[in-house]
């Protein structure tokens, strides 16, 4: 089986704007969430005051200049581009790419795309406050593929493009698909990326489903009362192992399933998640007992945590490997969650640490899985990462230790 190497990563999150910053915050237990006094909800915002310097760095970078010959403009709507391409340049540096090689594909994950920039204008247009022409201009970025245009229209990349928008599982699905693309020889390399910005639609929408907590979330805790939405951008470079100059970790395989149970709540038995995990383990050709750490979706919602914990108990028995969720640090970045959490997992693995579950005090009595509360020094070799999404989607990937530069 062709080995797939993770050779570069980049991220912009409420917790920090590099994988190193993410890890440092996680090790010190410093979260990046804030309670919005107006809404009474705890959310994770990125630091917008850094955008000018991020933009300037792209515009002054040799490859950034070839991607954006006229520079990225200062329009507020360029935020997704600034975030995405900051992540790309950081990952390329790590992977020792000075340009994107031939035979590289892209799989991009997002649920809302540019919604934050046109949702108010849609309402204004419907109310007759702005013209059809003005709304048309505002809506020009509606295609979810929009942020990838500089790469494809500018002929910087020659491989296939897929945009996955399977709700919160999209990022992990993108990684599973990218693994397959490389393993089966469809491409030699693949960029997996995503952007997700907070919007009125998502904040008020999730709140209408009584899913958001006023406080930082407490995954698997008996007193948990909801999730914290956050925004983020993340990017992972995957390469066929023999081609990679840098090796951060290996992506060993992935699996997917559907619950076919409910439109928004997961099947509490966890059976759907079990099937995704079994598919991932089979795809990676490894037995469950080689997993050292299970990094879950663990949003802090009543339903999610019960279902995931049940799945872990089913697969791993009465004594599971340490099970944790880091959403108390960085919140739930919807489609991008699988990407930034994978980045955090491999940073921790290379730091010989299993990250604990911030804000978790006492497990819900229905939960039998072994929830890891504190950070733990451990020589991690294999991580199982799971992600769930609306519509009953489940995705799981296996990450394996691998460190060094060829």
Partner 1 sequence: MVLLTQQKKSIFVAAVGTAKRNECIDMDRDPSFRKATLPMMMAWQALNKALKSVTTEARSDDENRANRKDWGLVFGTSHGELEVTKDFLVTLATKGLARPILFQNSLHHSTLGFISLKLGISGPGITVSNHFFSGEDAISAAIDLIEGGHCDVAVTVAVDTLVHGLEAALGQYYPGGQIEGEGAGCLILANAAGLKRLGAKPLAAFDRISINHQAGIGKPKDGHIEVSSDYDADGLEKIAHYLQEAKTLQTLSLKKPDGTSATIQWRHSSKERESAPC
Partner 2 sequence: MQSPQVVTNVIETIFDSVNLRFVDKTTVNENTVLGQGGLGLDSVDILEVVVAIEHRFGVKLQDKKSGVEAFQSVGTIAKFVETNTDATH
Q: From CA 221, how far away is CA 207, in angstroms rounded?
A: 20
Q: From CA 277, how far away is CA 266, in angstroms rounded?
A: 15
265 binds, among partner 2, partner 1, none (CB under 5 to 8 A by kind): partner 2
Does residue number 39 form part of the binding site for partner 2 (CB under 8 A)? no
Does residue number 38 form part of the binding site for partner 1 (CB under 8 A)? no
Q: How many CB atoms lie within 10 A of CB 39?
A: 13
Catalytic residue numbers, as ranges: 168, 297, 332
Across-strand partners of 16? 13
Q: What is the DSSP string of 44-95?
A: B---GGGHHHHHHHHHTSHHHHHH-TT---S-GGGHHHHHHHHHHHHHHHHH
Which position among 55, 275, 360, 373 is part of the footprint of partner 1 (CB under 8 A)? 275
Contacts with partner 2, 183-222, as mask; x by CB under 8 A? -------------------------xxx------------
Across-strand partners of 35? 42
Strand residue runs (E) in 292-370: 293-295, 323-324, 353-354
Q: Least separation, in Å, of the C-beta of 239 and partner 1?
A: 19
Does residue number 208 form part of the binding site for partner 1 (CB under 8 A)? yes
319 binds, among partner 2, partner 1, none (CB under 5 to 8 A by kind): none
Q: Least separation, in Å, of the C-beta of 202 and partner 1?
A: 9
| CB of 76 closer than 8 Å to CB of 114 | no
Contacts with partner 2, 62-101, as mask; x by CB under 8 A? ----------------------------------------
Number of residues that bind partner 2 (CB under 8 A): 7
Q: Which span sits near partner 2 by CB under 8 A: 2-10, 19-27, 260-268, 318-326?
A: 260-268
The two tokens of residue 263 are: 């439109």
300 binds, among partner 2, partner 1, none (CB under 5 to 8 A by kind): none
By CB atoms closer than 10 A (0-12, 13-18, 19+), residue 28 is exposed
Q: Checking DSSP bridges between strand 293-295 and strand 382-389, what pairing results, if any? A: parallel
| CB of 340 closer than 8 Å to CB of 333 | yes
Point out which residues bind partner 2 (CB under 8 A): 208-210, 262-265
Point out which residues bind partner 1 (CB under 8 A): 111, 115, 119, 122-123, 126-127, 132-133, 135-136, 139-140, 142-145, 152-153, 155, 158-167, 170, 173, 177, 180-181, 184, 186, 200-201, 204-209, 255-264, 272, 275, 279, 283, 389-393
């Amino acid at each position: 089986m062709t080995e797939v190497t993770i050779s570069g990563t980049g991220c912009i999150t409420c917790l920090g704007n590099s994988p190193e910053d993410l890890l440092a915050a996680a090790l010190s237990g410093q979260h990046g969430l804030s309670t919005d006094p107006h809404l009474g909800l705890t959310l994770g915002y990125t630091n917008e005051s850094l955008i000018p310097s991020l933009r300037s760095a792209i515009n002054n970078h040799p490859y950034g200049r070839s991607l954006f010959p006229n520079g990225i403009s200062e329009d507020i709507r360029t935020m997704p581009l600034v975030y995405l391409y900051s992540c790309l340049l950081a990952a390329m540096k790590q992977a020792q790419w000075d340009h994107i090689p031939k035979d590289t594909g892209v799989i991009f994950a997002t649920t809302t795309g540019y919604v934050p920039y046109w949702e108010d204008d849609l309402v204004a247009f419907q109310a007759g406050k702005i013209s059809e022409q003005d709304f048309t201009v505002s809506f020009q970025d509606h295609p979810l593929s929009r942020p990838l245009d500089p790469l494809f229209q500018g002929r910087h990349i020659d491989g296939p493009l897929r945009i996955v928008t399977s709700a919160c599982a999209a990022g992990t699905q993108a990684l599973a698909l990218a693994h397959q693309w490389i393993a089966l020889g469809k491409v030699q390399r693949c960029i997996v990326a995503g952007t997700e910005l907070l919007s009125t639609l998502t904040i008020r929408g999730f709140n209408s489903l009584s899913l958001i907590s006023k406080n930082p979330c407490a995954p698997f805790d008996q007193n948990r009362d909801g999730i914290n939405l956050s925004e983020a951008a993340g990017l992972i470079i995957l390469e066929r192992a023999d081609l990679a100059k840098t090796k951060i970790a290996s992506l060993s395989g992935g699996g997917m399933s559907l619950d076919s149970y409910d439109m928004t709540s997961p099947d509490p038995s966890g059976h759907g998640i079990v099937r995704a995990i079994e598919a991932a383990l089979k795809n990676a050709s490894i037995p469950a007992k080689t997993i050292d750490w299970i990094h879950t979706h663990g949003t802090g919602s009543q339903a999610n945590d019960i279902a995931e914990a049940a799945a872990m108990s089913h697969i791993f028995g009465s004594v599971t490997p340490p099970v944790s969720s880091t959403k108390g640090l960085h919140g739930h970045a919807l489609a991008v969650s699988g990407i930034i959490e994978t980045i955090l997992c491999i940073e921790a693995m290379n730091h010989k640490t299993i990250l604990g579950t911030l804000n978790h005090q006492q497990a819900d009595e229905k939960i039998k899985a072994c929830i890891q509360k504190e950070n733990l020094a451990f020589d991690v070799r294999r991580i199982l990462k799971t992600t769930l999404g609306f519509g009953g989607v489940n995705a799981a990937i296996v990450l394996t230790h691998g460190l060094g530069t060829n």
